[in-house]
Amino acid sequence: MKYDLALFDLDGTLVDSVYDLYIALNLTLSDLAFPIVSQRLVESWVGNGIEVLVKRALSGEMQISEHLDKVLSDKAFTLFYQHYEQQVGEYSVLYQHVETGLAALRGMPKALITNKDRLFTEKLLDKLALTSHFELIICGDDMAKKPSAEPLLFACNKLNVEPSKAIMIGDSKSDILAANAAKIDVIALSYGYNQGENLKDYNPQYLCDNFLDIIPVLTQR
């Protein structure tokens, strides 16, 4: 087989999770008497972990404000943590064909590499009955986040697979850049949260529009 290990991203790849993030973020903003933000904006901010998401929401845009007060952002982060802990998984759903696709890949070792914190990742995986698919789960607060190569290389090392025999599957430029930095091939999925970027510009080895399209890529000889 060309690949012996599949490294999956979570948000925007396996799970459409933005609605829960949108609710928890707006509860946080309204606690702080900040303006409410749209679901579309929240979707464009997902992908770099929760701390960055909260700071983008306080700034009201992708670019985090230089003038953001540390006491305010710490407070917002604490509030968001509480709201999202209540909310996570409530309205999150698997993308089309994810269940079928993961079942078809039963024989292939898989790891999950997400920028989401462990507390939320475990709750979400549990609610969606995904946990048992993965040999290893690496979260955003375990080590450096994507686009760092560190979590990808850690997974390869832990599961005893050469990076050249692993492949990353993700929805954002962070996934592609992390894979490039680790010298790991990558499939970019077009339906997730791409932060308004054209993923083609980052030259992934493969670009797929549907989750089932990844199967022939992963199982090629």
CB atoms within 10 A of CB 93: 12
Give 5 or 216: the residue with its C-beta nearer to ligand PGA.
5
Q: Are 42 and 204 in contact (CB under 8 A)?
A: no
How many angstroms separate the CA atoms of 192 and 44, rounded? Answer: 10
Q: Is 151 in the site for ligand PGA (CB under 6 A)?
A: no
Q: How would you classify residue 183: left for phi > 0, otherwise alpha for psi between -120 and 50, otherwise beta?
A: left
Give 92 or 115: the residue with its C-beta nearer to ligand PGA.
115
Counting every residue, how long is the chain?
221
SS3 content of the chain, % helix, strand, coil (to 5): 45, 15, 40
- Quick note: the x/- pattern for ligand PGA over 16-35, rule CB under 6 A, is --------------------
Residues 82-121 close enough to bind ligand PGA by CB under 6 A: 114-116
Q: Is 161 in the site for ligand PGA (CB under 6 A)?
A: no
Partner touching 116 among Mg ion, ligand PGA, none, CB below 5 to 8 Å by kind: ligand PGA
Give 11 or 43: the residue with its C-beta nearer to ligand PGA.
11
Burial of 108 (0-12, 13-18, 19+ CB in 10 A): middle
| 167: helix, strand or coil | strand
Tokens representing residue 40 in the block: 């579309």
How many angstroms separate the CA atoms of 154 and 124, rounded? Answer: 23
Least distance CB 199 / ligand PGA (angstroms): 13
Residues 35-64 close enough to bind ligand PGA by CB under 6 A: 46-50, 53
Partner touching 5 among ligand PGA, Mg ion, none, CB below 5 to 8 Å by kind: none
Residue 9 is a catalytic residue: yes
- Quick note: the x/- pattern for ligand PGA over 127-146, rule CB under 6 A, is --------------------
Residues that bind ligand PGA (CB under 6 A): 9-12, 46-50, 53, 114-116
Catalytically active residues, by annotation: 9
